[in-house]
């Protein structure tokens, strides 16, 4: 037979712990269900502009994107004619 101390430990420690875990699991599943029903998605991330997008010309030797004011291609090192 189990003693009173063991039953008391079950009531004070394990039952609240199991109840807390159940509440957390149910809360997470209801949050996921609401997100799927509402169809809310994160907006697409803004694309960062790179040097290729801002480039005004390309290298005649390797085709790398160039910015105005450059004297040499950063990719192949060829001198640029402007």
Q: What is the pLDDT of residue 8?
A: 85
Q: Is residue 82 part of a domain?
A: yes
Supply the range of the domain harboring residue 66.
54-82
DSSP conformational letter for 32: H
Q: Is residue 20 part of a domain?
A: no
- What is the mean pLDDT of the segment spanning 62-68? 87
Q: Is residue 1 part of a domain?
A: no
Q: Is residue 7 part of a domain?
A: no
Q: Could you tell me if 75 and 62 are in contact, meaning their C-beta atoms sit under 8 angstroms apart? A: yes
Q: Is residue 68 part of a domain?
A: yes
Q: 18 or 44: which carries more pLDDT confidence?
A: 18
Q: Is residue 13 part of a domain?
A: no
What tens digit of pLDDT does each residue of 21-64 get?
A: 999 988 887 776 655 655 556 666 665 554 444 446 888 889 88
Q: Which of 45, 47, 51 is nearest to 64 (CA)?
A: 51
Count: domains in the chain: 1
């Amino acid at each position: 037979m189990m003693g009173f101390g063991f039953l008391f430990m079950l009531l004070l420690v394990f039952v609240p712990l199991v109840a807390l875990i159940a509440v957390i699991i149910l809360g997470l599943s209801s949050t996921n269900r609401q997100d799927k029903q509402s169809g809310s998605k994160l907006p697409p991330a803004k694309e960062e502009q790179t040097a290729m997008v801002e480039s005004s010309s390309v290298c005649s030797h390797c085709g790398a994107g160039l910015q105005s004011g450059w004297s040499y291609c950063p990719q192949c090192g060829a001198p640029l004619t402007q």
